[in-house]
């Protein structure tokens, strides 16, 4: 190596920690890929998306994929795919290149190994499992708001959840993944807190209000990091790509709505309402799960998301949506609402859940309301949902792994879902 290059590299590597201290960002991109994450596709039984990041000088990067095998010579059979790469330069954030691939033509119910990188700089080999076939039993993980103290206090929730459901087909985030949409250090905390779990279980994130920001022109939009670091289905309304989308997994349709844009934009409200009705009307799946950030029914007396409720609850009632998973209110509540709410109507059959996984909590203006069957204050939670033919099993765990709440939904021909409460005996409500 020429002496000048050696001296330059020595200086650069030697003073990188000092540079990180000066900038206040410990998550500077390098030659080795970081922030590796799997993302859901429209059909994760036959495809899977992956994203990662490198420093600015890495103009191209690759992924390799192969059937996983105990014989380490499996790596010789790997297929190499060139990534789509884009540079992101935003204000004083360290410039980085974000890379993405979609692995296609995969086999259902199969374990694959993949790695990402280039030249002499590659990640480890990482395993993932494709989804199974329609009707096969599976589980997924649901998180409410992450938002603050992500590395220090949300990380334990992510690890407990993975311990409970290591074979989960997806991890659903109901918005507010971080606190300030364009703060790179918070995204760094989020990726570090989830660690290798992000790279093994595909994510299904929906954006919250804290994942949005206002441009200098006054336009509200998702974080500048959202689309570069997530590769999600682009089957939603134009202008809401990768925030409003759906995926079909083993007989369940999962739908993400961008509720922040419902709240701030008449145009995007109507686009999502029309789109939602179309994909509910033309839904071949037995089960339907919808996620968004702003609750249809809030546990807080000071919050009332009328636009969401008035435009989307009638669709959920009409098309018998089974489960609606939300965030925003930093507390826990679940229950079935009536048709119409606060009147002597029939129970809708849709289970509404509000939850929080991060440590930001509230007890102000939170009250026990008619629609709630179970609630909690000041409790970090995660949820493991298992679907097996005509039964959906919903288990709520605390950050320390104890079962706090549980129920089953049972499909009944010509009727709304039957609910079976499985609240653990002796576990009082955390109020």
pLDDT of residue 13: 46
pLDDT at 258 over 60: yes
Q: Give the confidence band of 253 by pLDDT, cuts at 50, 70, 90.
A: very high
Residue 116 has pLDDT above 90, yes or no: yes
Mean pLDDT of all residues in the chain? 93
Q: Classify strands 287-291 and 245-249 as parallel, antiparallel or unpaired.
A: unpaired
Q: Is residue 41 over pLDDT 90?
A: yes
Structure tokens at 394: 């919903």
What is the C-alpha to C-alpha distance for residues 415 and 237, in angstroms, rounded to an integer? 32
Residue 232: pLDDT band (50, 70, 90) is very high
Question: How much is the average pLDDT of 227-254?
Answer: 98
CA distances from 188 to 194, 359, 418 (A): 10, 18, 42
The answer to whether residue 10 scores a pLDDT higher than 70 is no
- How far, in Å, are 54, 99, 385, 391 from residue 406 at the CA level? 42, 40, 10, 13
**pLDDT exceeds cutoff 70 at 8:** no
Q: Which domains does the chain have, with CATH numbers?
A: 1-25 (no CATH), 31-129 (2.60.40.380), 138-421 (3.60.21.10)
Mean pLDDT of 87-104: 95
Give the model confidence (pLDDT) of 275-297 as tens digits: 999 999 999 999 999 999 999 99
Write down the pLDDT at residue 291. Answer: 98
Asked whether residue 4 carries a pLDDT value surpassing 90, the answer given is no
**Residue 343: band (very low, low, confident or very high) from pLDDT cuts 50, 70, 90:** low
For residues 303-310, give the mean pLDDT. Answer: 94
Over the stretch 50-83, which tens digit does the pLDDT of each residue have? 999 999 999 999 999 999 999 999 999 999 999 9
What is the model's pLDDT at position 6? Answer: 44
What pLDDT digit, counting tens, does each position of 148-194 carry?
999 999 999 999 999 999 999 999 999 999 999 999 999 999 999 99
Using 50, 70 and 90 to split pLDDT, how confident is the model at 370? confident
* pLDDT tens track for 381-403: 999 999 999 999 999 999 999 99
Query: What's the average model confidence in pLDDT over 248-271?
Result: 98
pLDDT at 271 over 70: yes
Q: What percent of the chain clears pLDDT 90, i.e. is strictly above it?
A: 88
- For residue 15, pLDDT over 50 is answered with no
Q: What is the pLDDT of residue 368?
A: 81
Q: What is the pLDDT of residue 22?
A: 53
The pLDDT-based confidence of 342 (bands split at 50, 70, 90) is low
- Three-state secondary structure readout of the chain: CCHHHHHHHHHHHHHHHHHHHHHCCCCCCCCCCEEEEEECCCCCCCCEEEEEEEECCCCCCEEEEEECCCCHHHHHHCEEEECEEEEECCCCCCCEEEEEEEECCCCCCCEEEEEEEECCEECCCEEEECCCCCCCCEEEEEECECCCCHHHHHHHHHHHHHHHCCCCCCEEECCCCCCCCCCHHHHHHHHHHHCHHHHHCCEEECCCHHHEEECCCCCEEECCCHHHHCCCCCCCCCCCCCCCEEEEECCEEEEECCHHHHHHCHHHHHHHHHHHHHHHHCCCCCEEEEECCCCCCCCECCCCCHHHHHHHHHHHHHCCCCEEEECCCCCEEEEEEEECCCCCCEEEEEEEEECECCCCCCCCCECCCCCCCEEECCCCEEEEEEEECCEEEEEEEECCCCEEEEEEEECCCCCCCEEEECCCCCCCCEC
Q: Is the pTM of this model over 0.85?
A: yes
Greatest pairwise CA separation for the chain in angstroms = 83
Q: How confident is the model at residue 249 (pLDDT cuts 50, 70, 90)?
A: very high
Phi, psi of 49 (to 5 degrees): -110, 145
Q: How confident is the model at residue 24 (pLDDT cuts 50, 70, 90)?
A: confident
Task: Give dist(CA 273, CA 118) in Å, integer.
Answer: 43
Contact of 368 with 333, CB cutoff 8 Å: no
Decide if pLDDT at 20 tops 80: no
pLDDT of residue 341: 62
With contact defined as beta carbons under 8 Å apart, do 398 and 383 qualify?
no
pLDDT above 80 (res 431): yes
Q: Is it the case that residue 237 has pLDDT exceeding 80?
A: yes
What is the pLDDT averaged over residues 22-51?
94
pLDDT in tens, 315-327: 999 999 999 999 9
Banded pLDDT at 264 (limits 50, 70, 90): very high
Residues with Cβ < 8 Å from 187, sequence gap 6 or more?
27, 35, 178, 223, 225, 229
Q: CB under 8 Å to 294, separation ≥6 — which residues?
A: 209, 259, 260, 262, 263, 305, 308, 326, 328
Beta bridge partners of 114: 65, 126
């Amino acid at each position: 190596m020429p002496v000048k290059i050696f001296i330059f590299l020595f200086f650069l590597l030697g003073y990188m920690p000092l540079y990180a201290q000066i900038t206040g960002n410990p998550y500077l991109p390098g030659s080795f890929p970081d922030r590796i994450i799997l993302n859901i596709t429209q059909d994760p039984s036959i495809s899977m998306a992956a994203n990662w990041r490198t420093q600015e000088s890495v103009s191209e990067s690759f992924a390799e994929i192969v059937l996983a095998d105990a014989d380490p010579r499996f790596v010789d059979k790997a297929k190499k795919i060139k990534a789509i790469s884009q540079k992101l330069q935003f204000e004083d954030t360290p410039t980085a290149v974000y890379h993405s691939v979609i692995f296609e033509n995969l086999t259902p119910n199969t374990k694959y190994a993949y790695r990402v990188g280039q030249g002499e700089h590659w990640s480890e080999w990482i395993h993932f499992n494709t989804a199974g076939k329609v009707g096969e039993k599976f589980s997924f993980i649901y998180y409410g708001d992450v938002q603050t103290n992500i590395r220090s206090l949300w990380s334990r929730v992510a690890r407990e959840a993975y311990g409970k459901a290591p074979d989960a087909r997806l991890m659903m985030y109901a918005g507010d993944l971080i606190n300030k949409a364009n703060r790179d250090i918070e995204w760094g905390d989020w990726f570090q807190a989830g660690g290798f779990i992000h790279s093994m279980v595909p994510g299904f994130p929906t954006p919250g209000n804290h994942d949005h920001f206002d441009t200098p022109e006054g336009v509200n939009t998702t974080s500048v990091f959202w689309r570069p670091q997530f590769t999600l289905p682009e089957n939603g309304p134009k202008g809401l790509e990768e925030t409003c989308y759906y995926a079909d997994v083993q007989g369940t349709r999962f739908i993400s709505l961008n509720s922040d844009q419902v709240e701030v934009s008449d145009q995007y409200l109507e686009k999502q309402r029309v789109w939602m009705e179309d994909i509910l009307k033309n839904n071949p799946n037995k089960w339907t799960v919808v996620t968004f950030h702003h609750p249809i029914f809030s546990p807080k007396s000071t919050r009332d998301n009328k636009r969401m409720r008035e435009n989307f609850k009638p669709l959920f009632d009409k098309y018998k949506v089974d489960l609606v998973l939300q965030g925003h209110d930093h507390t826990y509540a679940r229950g079935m609402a009536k048709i119409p709410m606060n009147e002597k109507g029939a129970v809708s059959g849709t289970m509404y859940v509000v939850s929080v996984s991060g440590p930001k909590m509230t007890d102000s203006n939170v009250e026990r309301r008619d629609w709630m069957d179970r609630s909690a204050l000041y409790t970090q939670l995660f949820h493991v949902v298992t679907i097996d033919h005509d039964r959906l099993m919903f288990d709520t765990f605390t950050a320390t792994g104890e079962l706090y709440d549980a129920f089953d939904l049972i499909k009944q021909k010509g009727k709304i879902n039957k609910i079976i409460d499985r609240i653990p005996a002796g576990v009082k409500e955390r109020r």
